[in-house]
Amino acid sequence: AQTVTQSQPEMSVQEAETVTLSCTYDTSENNYYLFWYKQPPSRQMILVIRQEAYKQQNATENRFSVNFQKAAKSFSLKISDSQLGDTAMYFCAFSALNTGNQFYFGTGTSLTVIP
Amino acid sequence: DADVTQTPRNRITKTGKRIMLECSQTKGHDRMYWYRQDPGLGLRLIYYSFDVKDINKGEISDGYSVSRQAQAKFSLSLESAIPNQTALYFCATSDSTGGRSKNIQYFGAGTRLSVL
Chain B residues close to A100, C-beta within 8 Å: 48, 50, 56
User: Which residues are bridge partners to B47 per DSSP?
Assistant: B34, B57
Q: Which residue from A99, A91, A97, A47 is spatially nearest to B58, judged by alpha carbons?
A: A99
What is the C-alpha to C-alpha distance for residues A104 and B22, in angstroms, rounded to an integer?
23
Number of residues that this document lists for chain B: 116
User: Which residues are bridge partners to A99 per DSSP?
Assistant: none
C-alpha pair distances (Å), A59 with each of A23, A35, A56, A76: 15, 10, 9, 11
Interstrand relation of B111-115 and B10-13 (parallel, antiparallel or unpaired): parallel
pLDDT tens digits along B42-85: 999 999 999 999 999 998 999 999 999 999 999 999 999 999 99
CB A107 within 8 A of CB A38: no
Best A7, A102, A104 residue to mutate vs chain B (most B CBs within 10 Å): A102
Can you give the pLDDT at residue B99?
65
Cβ of B104 within 8 Å of Cβ of A91? The answer is no
Chain B residues close to A95, C-beta within 8 Å: 103, 105
List B residues 6-45 in contact with A (Cβ-Cβ < 8 A): 31, 33, 35, 40-45
Residue B91 has pLDDT above 70, yes or no: yes
Q: Which residue from A83, A56, A84, A80 is spatially nearest to A68, judged by alpha carbons?
A: A56
pLDDT tens digits along A54-87: 888 999 999 999 999 999 999 999 999 999 999 9
Residue B46 contacts A where some CB pair is shorter than 8 Å: no
Can you give the pLDDT at residue B95?
86
What is the C-alpha to C-alpha distance for residues B47 and A104, in angstroms, rounded to an integer?
13
Chain B residues close to A35, C-beta within 8 Å: 104
Residue B2 has pLDDT above 80, yes or no: no
